[in-house]
Amino acid sequence: MKNILAIFAHPDDEVLACGGTLIKRFKNGDKIKIIILSNGCDSRNESSKEEIKKRIKSCKEACNILGAQSISIGDFPDNKFDSIALLDIIKYLENEIKSFVPDEIFTHFSLDLNIDHRITCQAVKTIFRPMFVKENSTIYECEVLSSTDWVQNSKHVFVPNHYENITKFLNTKNKALKCYNYEMREFPHSRSYEAITNLAKFRGMHSGFELSESFIISFSRN
């Protein structure tokens, strides 16, 4: 059994980025801990206490579908991670994981369009430096549609080097996404159910599976 740690900026990132893979790990008997750093909506003009409660409730429901045994949701300011000290995020994460030693860590692509995504990845990389991780540990950077795919600099594109077969798990991933149905958009928006399926097929083409999620292994120690 492995310890799987997923750290993301906003509710729904965890499903979009690696939902199928987390379900796969859960079915394999692994222990999953998910940490979300913000409520993901308090920066919006129409946000309210009720909207925030709704988003947090959706996150807990989605993470349960993914198989998480532990779920933590922080209160860092949505889309303003650059307004606070990186050390504050690091200390929060260190406190959350002090009794959980991960074998695999999933987080954001380091060059995502979204500033919160980039800072989350930076915090994760700072915590899990080579001297502070166990042997046989791996850090995966993930792609999140409507952020990773919108990076404009051609030098910063997401180029995966690892693929997970999620052919048996896409339906459950979509079930988890339905917890955030109010966040989904109509195709051809990349944050649509059709786009999620198309990406799984596209990455499947790259890997020889019917449906895949893809990752960048940014660090591996064996």
Residues in CB range of 154: below 8 A, 6 or more apart: none
Number of domains in the chain: 1
> Which of residues 40 and 43 earns the better pLDDT score?
40
Please provide the average confidence, as pLDDT, over all residues in the chain: 94
pLDDT score, position 215: 98
37 vs 46: CA distance, rounded Å: 20
- Give the HSE-up count for residue 176: Cα atoms under 13 Å, Cβ half-sphere: 28
Task: State both tokens at 169.
Answer: 């798990």
Domain extent, residue 153, equals 3-221
**CATH, residue 89:** 3.40.50.10320
Tell which residue, 70, 21, 25, has the closest CA to residue 211: 21
Rounded CA separation 2/51 (Å) = 35
Size of the chain, expressed as the number of residues it contains: 222
Q: Taking the model in full, what pTM does it have?
A: 0.96
pLDDT in tens, 51-70: 889 999 999 999 999 999 99
Buried (b) or exposed (e) across 53-66, using 16+ Cβ within 10 A?
ebbbebbeebbebb
Residue range 97-116: average pLDDT? 96
What are the distances in angstroms from CA 13 to CA 141, 200, 221? Answer: 12, 16, 26
In angstroms, rounded to a whole number, what is the distance separating the alpha carbons of residues 194 and 105? 27
